[in-house]
Amino acid sequence: MAEMEMPQRIENPTRDDYLAVMSKVVFQSGMSWRMVDTKWPEIREAMDGFKVRTVAGYGPADIDRLAADRRVIRNRRKLEAIAGNAARLLELDAEHGSFQAYLRSHDGFEVLVKDLRRQFKFLGEIGCHYFLFVVGEKVPPHHP
């Protein structure tokens, strides 16, 4: 089995960056990370560049359009989850003054992961570790 390369970290992530990385985790859930990585530029294009306000506004017609779009992984539950996650990201951003402030408002990595899994759909423990690492948050070492 090929080992996943260390992902590149994002310095000073924007809300759109947070959504893009989180959405990549959602798409990778239960799938080959390599396949998602290969399709990523097309997925990003189909999903409006993961502009958080746009994705948060996706309604049933948008989900139908995406579920028929060969550029994306056409899992309706994941597409709906990403739209819901975008809306929740905006809410937490507003409640805490920034999404980064929300992430840093927790007392430790384990508490943060537990809350991320409660707040957002399709985020598991490994996905949370990946997400937090890529967006530049402190994470403990990960050993596969």
Q: If the chain, 144 residues long, is cut into consecutive pieces of 10 residues, what is the mean pLDDT of each piece?
A: 71 97 96 93 98 98 98 97 98 98 97 98 95 96 68
Domain extent at residue 74: 15-134
Residue 142 within any structural domain of the chain: no
Residue 141 within any structural domain of the chain: no
Residue 116 within any structural domain of the chain: yes
Q: What span, in angstroms and rounded, lies between the C-alpha atoms of 16 and 86? A: 9
Q: How high is the pLDDT of residue 144?
A: 56
Residue 70 within any structural domain of the chain: yes
In the chain, what is the straight-line distance between the N-terminal and C-terminal CA atoms, in Å? 12
Domain count, the chain: 1
Residue 7 within any structural domain of the chain: no
Cβ distance 19 to 55 under 8 Å?
yes
Residue 5 within any structural domain of the chain: no
Q: What span, in angstroms and rounded, lies between the C-alpha atoms of 44 and 46? A: 6
Q: What span, in angstroms and rounded, lies between the C-alpha atoms of 39 and 71? A: 7
Q: Which CATH number does the domain housing residue 41 bear? A: 1.10.340.30
